[in-house]
Structure 1
């Protein structure tokens, strides 16, 4: 899937509006069914998080959403409470001492992201879309907005639990400027080429590579 020449060529049409409505209906149905199906796992994870270290089971962090509006994204807490970074500016690195043993497993399998199904039900996120970044997100020793001049174009769609960039292995450490830039290009390619069929492809890739393959960090 290629990025078109004009990142903001998102002219409204009856077809696209219908697809966006169908996307929202799909998000709600998928989230409800996923929460019901995963409830036993979510309970086990919550108990494990509380048993290993003191603090809340869920961690909430401010992220940028549609058109730059901010909201609190939910995640299972994977760090020790006293060492967590509420701003999200300090990137997690390999063998990060702030991450608990349970948290290491949760991050590797991306299970820590599952509480974001609640954000989807609240209308703050979608199942598939550009991953929500913290305000002032840094990449390659710069803020993303300095590194990628058209960075804000990715805010034209609701952020997602997973996205085209993540489905193609572009996730994790953002210190590599080239990889960070590639994530944004993949986000824009998704926005421009969005379809429910593409969403299904991304969901299946995510389950195979992250939840089952354990490629998260």
Structure 2
């Protein structure tokens, strides 16, 4: 309980510093998005927050306005047709996630925690319930993200989220933050398109190697 109170203070400090330092980058990205395509600069999407409450997560818009709103990008059959050129760069560098600093300031999210599920990702929400992972603030990044991101099956992802909840500490948060920076720099674990197809292709490749 004591660390959770400290964690909130740290989150506020880091998000305020981030807003000031990254202000020029925010402006540049907003201009780039507007120059390429029509529509809002920010994308809002209903996500699951603390104790299964709902909130609107903020991202820089990376897709056309006619893209499906409540379907994870990695579950789309052909996500490339919806992603803009600027959006592709933002996703590769994870810069599309920067507006979530606002969510952190508002108290919807933390810097480190389980990534907030879509409101209709019932399987992930229920799996997290087994580990108490719905009872902490979702994060900008987390233990599951540095251990596979989009590559992880739901059961494994929820298990990692549970491990984070059980071992939550300043040391673990610092480790997650550092490893996230490294993962983003290397674009590790990012899968666009249909995840099921990706797993099938990987399994098929391994089978052919035998």
TM-score calculated relative to the size of structure 1: 0.80
SS at match of 1:164: coil
Q: Which residue of 1 aligns with 2:179?
A: 205
Residue pairs, 1:33-112, within 5 angstroms: 33-83=17-67, 85-89=68-72, 91-92=75-76, 96-112=80-96
Name the CA shift for 1:106/1:18 in 2 (closer, same or farther; >3 Å).
Answer: same
Q: For the Cα contact (< 8 Å) 2:113–2:137, is it kept in 1?
A: yes
Aligned mate of 2:109, from 110, 125, 135: 125
Taking the aligned partners of 1:79 and 1:110, their CA distance within structure 2 comes to 14
Gaps of 5+ in 1: 1-16
Instruction: Count matched residues.
Output: 189
Name the CA shift for 1:185/1:34 in 2 (closer, same or farther; >3 Å).
Answer: same
Q: For the Cα contact (< 8 Å) 2:128–2:158, is it kept in 1?
A: no
SS at match of 2:81: coil
SS at match of 1:81: coil
* Correspondence 1:144 to 2:124: yes
Query: What is the CA deviation profile of residues 38-86 of structure 1, one whole-angstrom value per residue up to 9, with x for unaligned ones?
Result: 1111111111111111000000000000000000000000001122x22
Displacement of 1:96: 2.1
Residue pairs, 1:12-51, within 5 angstroms: 17-51=1-35
- Of Structure 1 and Structure 2, which has the larger fraction of its residues in helix? 2
Gaps of 5+ in 2: 192-210
RMSD: 2.0
Taking the aligned partners of 2:187 and 2:128, their CA distance within structure 1 comes to 33
Taking the aligned partners of 1:152 and 1:86, their CA distance within structure 2 comes to 28
Aligned mate of 1:194, from 147, 159, 168: 168
Taking the aligned partners of 1:94 and 1:190, their CA distance within structure 2 comes to 33
Taking the aligned partners of 1:193 and 1:202, their CA distance within structure 2 comes to 12
Q: Which residue of 2 aligns with 1:13?
A: none
* Correspondence 1:153 to 2:126: no
SS at match of 1:22: helix
Name the CA shift for 1:31/1:179 in 2 (closer, same or farther; >3 Å).
Answer: same
Displacement of 1:149: 7.8
Q: For the Cα contact (< 8 Å) 2:112–2:177, is it kept in 1?
A: yes
